């Protein structure tokens, strides 16, 4: 993974609905239901839409991480879908 210079924005936290076993985010509609922060649920767009889960799962949790951490997760997950 390539590293980018740290910025204050990178340390800002976002909470997403994320399946902790499948390691995939919920779709934007589920994100919108899970939070009242438009900034949070629109942040799911960093993930390739093919990775989004379209229905709730028993392992979905609200997970809070910094923007930088979410970008790292998205890079890894998106790369795995590029190979398919």
Tell me how many degrees the CA angle 7-48-51 measures, rounded to the nearest 5.
120
Model confidence pLDDT, tens digit, residues 15-56 = 999 999 999 999 999 999 998 888 888 899 999 999 999 999
How far, CA to CA in Å, does 45 sit from each of 22, 50, 58? 18, 11, 23
- H or E element that contains 18: strand 13-19
Look up the pTM and report it. Answer: 0.83
Which residue, among 70, 75, 77, 74, has the nearest Cα to 11 in the 3D structure? 70
Domain boundaries, the chain: 13-82
- Mean pLDDT rounded to a whole number for the chain: 90
């Amino acid at each position: 993974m390539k590293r980018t210079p740290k910025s204050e924005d990178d340390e800002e936290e976002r909470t997403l609905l994320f399946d902790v076993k499948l390691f995939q985010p919920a779709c934007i509609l589920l994100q919108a239901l899970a939070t009242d922060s438009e900034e949070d649920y629109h942040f799911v767009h960093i993930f390739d839409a093919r990775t989004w889960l379209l229905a709730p799962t028993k392992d979905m949790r609200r997970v809070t991480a910094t923007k930088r951490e979410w970008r790292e997760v998205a890079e890894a997950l998106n790369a795995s879908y590029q190979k398919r």
